[in-house]
Chain A
Amino acid sequence: MIECKDVSKAYQIGDMVTEAVRNICFKVEVGEFLAILGHSGSGKSTLLSIIGGLTRPSGGQVAVDGEDIWQWSDNERARFRNCTIGFVFQFASLIPTLTVLDNIALPSLFGEGMTRAARLRARDLAGIVGLSDKVDSYPSEISGGQQRRVAISRAFLNDPKIVLADEPTGDLDEATEAQVMDLFTGMCRQHKTTILMVTHNRDLIKSADRTLVMKDGGIL
């Protein structure tokens, strides 16, 4: 499903070259839940960004279903992000001027268009995460945990094959963190989605099928 071959990423700042990711090689099978553990600055978010088609690698290949996504055009990668990938970020990242329902349905706007079917699906997803009564609220009118649930619902709107999660419970308290994590893993299992989750929190990797540990841009 996902195959990284010698993926590396170097940043040049002045005369100094910093290698954020070094010769990473791994495979993720369909439906697998892979956790990538590492401290801050270990390169895990950069790796996730490369796999998600957001950061161009300095070297190596990222193949999804056998195709190198970095050989595609910008528009093809945009379509890939829209149709194949669901993103969950450290922060909820909602559009403050749109309602909960519109935020969940937002990915459809950049794909097939926000049809009635997309809005119905968004409403269903809001129900699954327990926000049926908040669909007409704005992000500023709901709590941080609820915002995170909106973001998770949004990631599943287009029924993605892959979910990339970057510290999905970032700034939540322990109780909310557990709830959100249960919801997230439950939805992934239910949708048979391949998951790549990066975290520095060892408690979160319990649900994963496999864990990779990153340090200084490489896999240990």
Chain B
Amino acid sequence: MRLYHVALHEIGRRKTRTAYTASGIVISVALLVASIIVAIAGQKDIVLIINRYGHSLTIFPATSTETTLKGFGIGSGQYIPESALPAIREVYDSAIKSGWEARGGWVMEPGAPGGVELLQPATFAPRLYEETTIRDRHAVIAGVDPEAEYKSRFWWEVETGKLVSRPDEVMAGSVFGKITGVNLGDRVEINGHSLKLVGVLRETDSPDDYMIFGVLSTVQEIFGKQGLISMINVRAMCNYCPVGDAEVALNKTVVGVRATSQRELALAQHTIFRNVTNVILGFVALSFVIACMAMFNMVLGTIHGRLREIGLFKVLGASRGQLMRLFTYEAVMMGLLGGIVGYLLGYAMASWIAPWLIPGTTVEFTWWHPVLAVLAAITCSILATLYPAFFASRIRAAEAFRAL
């Protein structure tokens, strides 16, 4: 038997007292773990939005006021003429260049080494949305420019088959494929035109999952909308491009279109979320201080109740260091226990809170969360026990002897 066995016996035989003493730490650790897990899930969600849509602009017909499918111009009769694309591109490029310069960026004149050619040109991916009926089901078909579309939506992955590339081919979103039961190689009838299904996309958690995609020119022809598009997705192709400036310039300069950028919105959301998380973590830190103080009082009280025991240890030859170690071991064990229970409780809380706070999110296990929980609990426990342990070690053997 070693000193820590004595501590272990003490904790094992006095379960209620141990549970009561460690309860504050359990609650603090649970709050810490839940806050961190929910914060990470939230940040991840926002970062995903920024990565997917943050460096891009979406351009709609100016009369559209919604960003839902209905607002994409479907059935509204509102379109952007394809012929406007070069003008839109010019305004966009100019705004990006000015934006860089305004931020101190060094962009040289065309033709000079290191000039604007170094800026990767943005990808303009036009789409035409139309409503139709496929296999007796209402459906939305999107006509796309395959090359530009795949560059712009780099997160697209094919579940089966391949991406659409030829005028007589179509590709289904994952939910569309499941609902209609279309299979690879099937012929899909659209407005009297027969097109071959060549691929099904993997789920993207976006409206794309509910659509079917064809080549833009084919869809324009089928629906008699030659030269018209419903929207343009502009991907900046660089992480820090001032797309906000381009958004402002397009809305000011190009008549009949409305450009929106999600980057600023997502960044603002990111900042708010981070600040709220920091405030919550501040409260968690405060709860640790309170837990430490509560534990300090309880341990000190316990030591007064264990005077006989401390006295006996002293009489039997325990040194001050050994007594300090004994109480520190108890603190470490209580911290370990509080950390494990607190982590489990916090994980359960996060599993319940995160999907409610950020719909669609899932809580993931990360190895450093339990490690952090246990370390925080042990540190708090040791800090709370340090003085009481020192006090116990300084109790005079004579006083302890009288207690026997």
Contact = CB atoms under 8 A, between A and B. Distances in A.
Q: Do A and B bind each other?
A: yes
B312 A55 contact: no
Contacts of B10: 97
Interface in B272-301: none
A82 B317 contact: yes
B390 interface: no
B314 A78 contact: yes
B318 A95 contact: no
Interface stretch (A64-72, A103-111, A173-181, A188-196): A103-111
Interface residues of A, number: 35
Contacts of B321: 75
A37 to B, nearest CB: 20
Most buried by A among B313, B317, B319, B322: B317
A97 B330 CA distance: 14
Most buried by B among A54, A56, A113, A114: A54
A93 B317 contact: no
B349 interface: no
Interface in A72-126: 74-75, 77-83, 87, 89-91, 93, 95-98, 102, 105-107, 109-111, 113-114, 119
Interface string A164-180: 00000000000000000
B2 A114 contact: yes
Interface string B302-333: 00000011001111111111100000000000
B248 interface: no
A81 B316 contact: yes
A105 B1 CA distance: 9
Contacts of A83: 317
B264 to A, nearest CB: 63
Contacts of B315: 52, 54, 81, 87
A49 interface: yes
A43 interface: no
A78 B309 contact: no
B327 to A, nearest CB: 14
Interface string A30-66: 0000000000000000000100111110000000000
B397 interface: yes
A52 B404 CA distance: 14
Nearest to A48: B401
B397 A110 contact: no
A170 B4 CA distance: 33
B308 A93 contact: yes
A212 B56 CA distance: 101
Contacts of B6: 95, 97-98, 109
B14 interface: yes
A102 B1 contact: yes
Contacts of B400: 54
Contacts of A82: 316-317
A137 to B, nearest CB: 14
Contacts of B1: 102, 105, 109, 114, 119
A89 B404 CA distance: 7
7 contacts: A53-B397, A54-B401, A75-B319, A78-B317, A89-B404, A96-B13, A111-B317
Which 9 pairs of residues, A with B, have the shortest CB-CB distance? A82-B317, A55-B398, A97-B13, A54-B397, A114-B1, A110-B317, A97-B9, A81-B317, A110-B318
